Amino acid sequence: MASAVGPGEDGDRRNVSDAAGVIVLGACATWSLISAAVTGGRPEGVLLAILAVAAGYAAGRISGALLPVAAPCAAALAGLGLTLTVPHLTPGPQILAPHGHAGATAAVMTLAVGAACCAAWAASAPVLRLALRTLAAGIALTAALLGSTTGFFTCAAVVLCSLAAGHMSHRGVGIAGLALTATAVTGLTWAVAERAVPAGFASWLEGQLTSHRIQLWRDALHLAREDLALGVGPGRFGELSTTATGTLLSDGKPHSAPLQQAAEQGVAGVILLAAAFCWMLFALWRTARPTPVVLTAGAALTAVAAIAAVGNALSFTSVSVGAGLLAGLATARPLADGSSGGEIDARARGDRLAP
């Protein structure tokens, strides 16, 4: 059964999600400034990340509307090229995995795979669709060849989720599942920091994540308890954490975005970080794009959220820009859709447009 969405209804949907994004990102910036003003923190890093997400989202909306297939394909190739040509993704002292650039590499390659799969779903020619899926599989293989085990598994998960999304007619169930997945990973991270997991499981996790990283998480939780309202201030974890200050070439991060927000910006910071992720899922849920495109992008963003929950991926501008770009590409309405009188054949597009 085909479903039609008129240009007016689609515009209303986009206006609501865009307004929500402005409010959420504005609140994140405002709170970081308030926390920094009271505690003497340095909000520049947070503000840069917010600007990167906003710029990437705007670029994705524009390019996705003009070139619905070519733009995400170019984004995928750019992510792959960035990983191959700038493997550390940042200047300055390089800290060995798993504490340095490994999380950012995995996140960028995961976003690249998501973009390639979105391009495949947007393509109409079977040969082009196959070529784009081959590109996605090639990026996942490249992650394995580069030694990024996390990147390989998250890339493979995105490819599998993208294929499964083609058989889903109701995106709401998929979006809810992605939100629960991100919540579960964050909850596990918190439980490990609280020493609230069974001893055997904790030992296994310590072997995978290293005891140093887990100790950083516990330092972050300890600092968060000192001031639940405001935190210790943006950018101050590195100078207050005993583990970080006692580590040679420390990057000053707790290697967990939720715990870093809790330590540096208090409970409100954690809520705003969660709100930013929920806004992206909400924008995907509201868009008139096909469900396979929506769930593919959502799967990639959820994988990046999981990587950020156990690493420092969000400390890299390339990851913030890439996340915003993918969200923008997946929510952009191609201009060709608007020129057809507002009628879209949902069966031909593999989707029921109503969320």
The CA–CA distances, whole Å, from 124 to 68, 112, 291, 293, 348 equal 11, 20, 15, 13, 10
Which of 234, 221, 291 has its CA nearest to residue 264?
234
Residue 326 exposed, middle or buried by CB count within 10 Å (0-12, 13-18, 19+):
buried
DSSP state, 169? S
> For the chain, first and last CA: distance in Å?
15
Write the pLDDT tens digit of every residue in 74-116.
999 999 999 888 755 543 334 344 334 678 899 999 999 999 9
d(CA 123, CA 346): 15
Phi, psi of 128 (to 5 degrees): -65, -40
Predicted pLDDT of residue 101: 67
Structure tokens at 132: 């784009």
Which of 332, 337, 329 has its CA nearest to residue 71?
329
Predicted pLDDT of residue 249: 66
Predicted pLDDT of residue 8: 56
Which residue numbers in the chain have pLDDT < 50? 1-4, 90-100, 338-355
Domain definitions of the chain by residue range? 7-75+169-349
Predicted pLDDT of residue 209: 86
Predicted pLDDT of residue 103: 85
Write the pLDDT tens digit of every residue in 177-210.
999 999 999 999 999 999 898 988 888 988 888 8
Predicted pLDDT of residue 3: 38
Predicted pLDDT of residue 354: 41
Contact predicate 19/11, CB 8 Å:
no
Which of 210, 193, 226 has its CA nearest to residue 39?
226
